Amino acid sequence: MLIGDCLIAAGMVSYSGAFTMDFRQYLEGLWNENTERLKIVHTPGIRMNKVLGDDVKIRIWNVAGLPNDDLSVENGIIMFESRRWPLMIDPQTQAKKFIKTLGKDREPPLEAFKPSEPNILRGLELGIQFGRWILLENVGEELDPALEPILLQQKTKSGSGYTIKIGDKTITYNEDFRFFMTTTLPNPHYSPETSVKVTILNFAITPQGLEEQMLNQLIQLEMPELQEKKNQIVEDNAKALKELRDIEDRILYGLTKNAQISQILEDDELIITLEASKKTSAEISQRMKESEITEKEIDEKRENFRSVAYRASLLFF
């Protein structure tokens, strides 16, 4: 299923960022239909979240302030999986708050600039050199031409690493560097020349997205123990999946280390890992089945508040 699934996920990362949730779902459905028509093997109805989503990372993002609705989670995935730096349409400043919270505990911590600040290029140079995250807030419809080498990631191989030229300076390029841009304009128009240099992400709140956020807030207020239980289930499932993946990695490492069948049979550590993985996998599968039933019951109770969340969203818009 890998080829078809990756094709649809790559299409979503490349093209869907600027659109609303409805249009993204339409695109995903269209690509699913066409992979079916062209007989490209794929998981029926596959979504980008399932291919590229990492429950552990998404949980960390939610704690840092990324809303838990599908649009926001997709934006998070595209933001960190895309090759080009993200430019976020963020009229409600949710993306800005999320990036600042996520980046403040890093070492070195995130640094934020506005386009009007005179020391922005100096800040970017230091960010590139030391692997700092840089956030450029409140950009307009035109981007400073001086940013071009950074936006186009014009790196040059130099020994075992890379360098990049900004103006007349050549700087060592640290691979940990990340560059984020946000605009508070609700409906900006970016020229094709700008659009091909960045990944445009639409963080503008939609009625459906706000409804989900309001539902989470209502449950937190009215039934905090229920929300806590749901959060715990998501966290436990994420940890279980990570544990399974770590076991798989250890097994794969053992198999690649021992090319011959006879070597595999003689590797005591690999045999012990395989036995332990069988037991652990069975336990985790059982735990996840039980948590799925509990989560379904919780979701049914949450739905009782749906009409209030809908009203809150309606009132805002």
From 9, 197, 177, 203, select the one nearest 103 (Cα to Cα): 177
Instruction: State residue 256's pLDDT score.
Output: 77
Mean pLDDT of 30-44: 95
For the segment 80-86, the average pLDDT, to the nearest whole number, is 95
Quick: pLDDT tens for 253-281: 877 776 566 666 667 777 787 787 788 88
Average pLDDT over residues 47-60: 88
pLDDT reported for residue 230: 77
**pLDDT tens by residue, 179-235:** 999 999 999 999 999 999 999 999 998 888 888 888 888 888 988 888 788 778 877
What are 128-147's pLDDT values in tens digits? 999 999 999 999 999 999 99
> pLDDT at residue 70 above 90?
no
Q: What is the pLDDT of residue 260?
A: 63
Chain segment 286-309, per-residue pLDDT in tens: 877 888 888 888 888 889 999 999
State residue 261's pLDDT score: 62
Q: Whole-number mean pLDDT of the chain?
A: 89
Structure confidence at residue 87 as a pLDDT band (50, 70, 90): very high
How large is the average pLDDT for residues 71-77?
Answer: 94
pLDDT number for residue 262: 62
**pLDDT given at position 65:** 85
* pLDDT average, residue stretch 37-62: 90
Poorest-pLDDT segment among 103-107, 108-112, 263-267, 303-307: 263-267
